[in-house]
Amino acid sequence: MAEQTRGATLVTGAAGGLGRSFALGFAERGHHVVCADINEAGAAETAQLVTEAGGRATSVQVDVTDRASCEQAAKAAADIGAGRIDAVVNNAAIYATITRTPFEEIDVDEWDLVMGVNLKGPWQVTRACSPYLGEGSHVINLSSATVFSGSAQWAHYVASKSGVIGLTRVLAKELGPRGITVNAVAPGFTLTEASYGLMDNAESYGVDRGSLKRACQPEDIVGAVLFLAGGDSGFITGQTLVVDGGRQFI
């Protein structure tokens, strides 16, 4: 464990996919990871995997659209971290279950659900964690590289992830005076179990459009998040780091 932290690290959407990879990556750096997800069994499984790998983890159930649930998860993380949360990774999102639909035909309830989880969620989780964040704490919000290119028939997803970038900039301004950094990571198409479920050619999708001619692996995103949650990025805030193998430059 190369890096030992005083507080806890809260990762939402930790039941699988990138969230699980984040939990394992933080644990390898010595963080006590609080694996949070609405899928309680999946979060517990991630915590167990972390423990089996020699790390420290606890699981909590959280509904990021519910204020009380977010506050309970934040308090649980703070209790584990002796009153402090070192890092918050707002990863919970609706992605694989969205049906591509022309914007005129998107169901209003689905629009509200996507916005509730993908955009309201990071706001609520960060607000709940705010009392336990201090100088040197980090907030990392997961956006998406599709924000910069658009994606037809995915208006609610792209709009929600665009909002995450705006939220990140505002939070950086408001939390900066307390010595807290807030940044976003915008992954390109990444090979998680959710992505494999979206299409048959996941391993080759978009590879020809990138500068680096390979598919994005979860480890590529984990490295970016770990950087933004560490001391080497202490003077970086309000920024969006695109991790897509050079498909687009901003």
Asked whether 50 and 107 are in contact (CB, 8 A), the reply is no
pLDDT at 215: 77
The fraction of the chain above a pLDDT of 90, given in percent, is: 78
Residue 124 CB coordination number (10 Å): 23
Mean pLDDT over 175-199 rounds to 81
What is the pLDDT, as a whole number, of residue 150?
92
- What is the C-alpha separation between 160 and 143, in angstroms, rounded? 8
The residues annotated with a catalytic role in the active site are 157
Domains of the chain are 8-243 (3.40.50.720)
Mean predicted lDDT score pLDDT of the chain: 92
Show the CA angle centred on residue 126, arms to residues 124 and 128, nearest 5°: 70
Per-residue confidence at 95, pLDDT binned at 50, 70, 90? confident
Under a CB-based contact definition with an 8 Å cutoff, are residues 26 and 9 in contact? yes
4 pLDDT band, cuts 50/70/90, is low
Asked if the model's pLDDT at residue 246 lies above 70, the reply is yes
